Structure 1
Amino acid sequence: MDQGGSVFTEDSPIYQQLATQIADDVVAGTYPEDAAVPSSNEFATFLHMNPATAGKALNVLVEQGILYKKRGVGMFVSPGARSQLLKQRRTDFPQQYVRPLIREARAVGIDPVELAEMIKEEYTP
């Protein structure tokens, strides 16, 4: 988490948004395997939210196997969590991003060749 204050939208519950942000940080390497993550109270203070909301976000990640608890010590990133998240995101990628992109391209009259060229141009540094 690199930003103080809350920057949450009303699109989904705050705890889900926080869980997603923590997962993003695991994928990015901010929290490597076996690294401690901030406590629910630390997240609550930093992000100006209810500690129960932060705790719910952490528990979601525990249930998914992304984090694990050490009683009396804190929450830590599970071994293999980054790989698990990357695998899930690759699986979800077509449904979440490709299909909506294709739907919009069709709606505005972009053919597959033109769409592929646009993607290639944007993808190349």
Structure 2
Amino acid sequence: MQFNFDSTEPLYLQVADQLEEAIFLNSFQEGEQVPSTTEISKQFHINPATVLKGMNILVDSGFLEKKRGLGMFVTTGANDKIRTKRQDEFYADFVSNLVSEAKKLSLPETAIIEMVKRGFERS
């Protein structure tokens, strides 16, 4: 994990984003315990309450679960939930804007599909 202390993004959101990314990339498997708030706060010199606030976002999203006296664990199905969330965000952030701009440019759907195919071929 790396935190940008100069960023305008609050640290608790950076904690949540980085833990979510780690779960998505299978750095933490479903059912596996994630580092404790104390471990993260000591390692990165962050207030434990800040770390806990970030972790609670993932609990509220259903990606982590608290086990009393044991710690935080990745929930079953967390990876799929994160993928679905990111697909929805991708649509909202990119696809809907793409379609909106294409309509302004009077580009037909077929032209957009061809552009996307060309992009896949080049990457």
Whether TM exceeds 0.5 here: the answer is yes
Match of 1:95?
92
Once the two structures are superposed, residues 26-78 of structure 1 have per-residue CA deviations (whole angstroms, 9 ceiling, x without a partner) of 11101110011011111112222111100101111111111011111110000
For residue 86 of structure 1, what is the amino acid of its counterpart? R
- The structure-2 alpha-carbon separation of the partners of 1:100 and 1:49, relative to structure 1 and needing over 3 Å to count, comes to farther
Please list every run of 5 or more consecutive structure 1 residues that lacks an aligned counterpart in the other structure. Answer: none
Q: Distance in 2 between matches of 1:49 and 1:60?
A: 17
User: Could you tell me the TM-score, scaled by structure 2's length?
Assistant: 0.77
Percent sequence identity is: 37
Rate the CA distance shift 1:100–1:21 in 2: closer, same or farther, 3 A.
farther
Report the Cα distance in structure 2 between the residues aligned to 1:53 and 1:123, rounded to whole angstroms: 40
Q: Following TM superposition, by how much is the alpha carbon of 1:15 offset from its aligned partner in structure 2, in angstroms? A: 0.8
Q: How many residues align?
A: 119
Q: What is the aligned-residue RMSD (CA, Å)?
A: 2.5
| Residue 73 of structure 2 corresponds to residue 76 of structure 1 | yes
1:15 aligns with 12
* Secondary structure of residue in 2 paired with 1:7: coil
Structure 1 pair 100/14, CA: closer, same or farther in 2 (3 Å)? farther
**Deviations for 1:78-121, whole angstroms, at most 9, x for unmatched residues?**
001111111111122111223445667899x7x674x6666445
The yes-or-no answer on 1:85 pairing with 2:85 is no
- In the alignment, structure 2 segments of 5+ residues that lack a partner are none
Of residues 18, 26, 31, the one that matches 2:28 is 31
- What is the TM-score normalised by the length of structure 1? 0.76
Give the Å deviation of 1:17: 2.0
